[in-house]
Amino acid sequence: MSSALERCARGLDSIVEVCGWIAAWTGLALVLVMAGNVLMRYAFNVGSVAMQELEWHLMSPLTLLCIAYTIKHEGHVRVDILYVRFPAVVRQVIDLFSAVCVVALSAIVIFLSWHYVMQSYNIGEGSPDPGGLPYRFLLKAMIPAGFVLLLLQSLAATLRAIQPFLGSGSQPASPVPADAHQ
């Protein structure tokens, strides 16, 4: 059972890994667009509303789609002052509780944001500015998409956090730094 849970968790991880890696490349696109906007504005005294809007259209996938990727690679901020001092079983309970809470939160955000995206799609919402970008629903769709990825990553974390309670190991679900007990 433990190996099946871990295989499923690894499958979810791989989806998050691929999507996060692809979304991370929007960072390069964002830098290039911003540099191009600055160059055009200051060197040629030319500006484009669409190119300025493209900046935050690129910021959306960069931030929302990379949340789960960051969590997967433990790049998030975590306060371990108390956590590292708890016994392994308490850390395991905290990890399981946290993962389940994030699953629930992600499901709620997906549910609530879907109407917002569909409303934008149905009215054909675009930029209110002349020369702005159309298809505002694509930008808004990053909200549920990002939380779908966070949901998948949290399900993987939940599967891993359940394993110690099924008798498949007594290691804490989250790694604890070696120098934490000093």
Q: Which residues of the chain have pLDDT under 50?
A: 170, 172-173, 178-182
| Mean of pLDDT over the chain | 88
- The pLDDT value recorded for residue 42 is 93
Write the CB contacts of 92 (distance below 8 Å, at least 6 apart in sequence): 161, 164, 165, 172, 173
Q: What is the predicted pLDDT for the residue at 172?
A: 46
Three-state DSSP state, 175: coil
Calpha distance 106→103 (Å, rounded): 5
- From CA 72, how far away is CA 125, in angstroms rounded? 34
Q: What is the pLDDT of residue 121?
A: 96
Alpha-carbon distance of 97 to 152, in angstroms, equals 16
Task: Give the whole-angstrom CA distance, residue 89 versus residue 164.
Answer: 9
Entry pTM? 0.82
DSSP state of 83: G
